[in-house]
Amino acid sequence: MTWTEGLVGRRVLCVGTDLADVAEIRGVLTRQPAFRTRAFTEAERAYCDIPRDPAERYAVRFAAKEAVLKALGTGLAGAPLTDIEVRRAPGGKPSLHLAGRAAALAEAAGVRTWLISLTHTAAQAHAMVAGIGDET
């Protein structure tokens, strides 16, 4: 089964997108070291901190978290950022895992699964998410 076969007959309930400036995230990481633990899970930090300059990886994950909260209609105040985790399959495909308040918001909205697309350059990081509901 391909990833699209599981989506046939299901509804897109919400969509969110965000663009993050990599230099801005790099500056926040430098000026506010606690930002890493406030905004990113332990697994995300372990992955992001592999390269010498982790700013692109952090920026695209921050964009994904903000895109999820936009899709849920709350913005950044809706849930702790650590309630939203960007996971990476061995082949590189990203996925989302929600916990706590973010999971409760998604459940209330009828979201059962998420589609996520991430891309970044040295300057910008973009994320787009779509919350998918049950069959129509």
Report yes or no: 130 and 14 within 8 Å, Cβ to Cβ: yes
Binding residues for Mg(2+): 18, 66
Query: Closest Cα partner for 22 from 51, 50, 63, 52?
Result: 63
Residue labelled with tokens 């970044």? 120
Question: Do strands 94-98 and 84-88 pair parallel, antiparallel, or not at all (unpaired)?
Answer: antiparallel
Binding residues: 18, 66
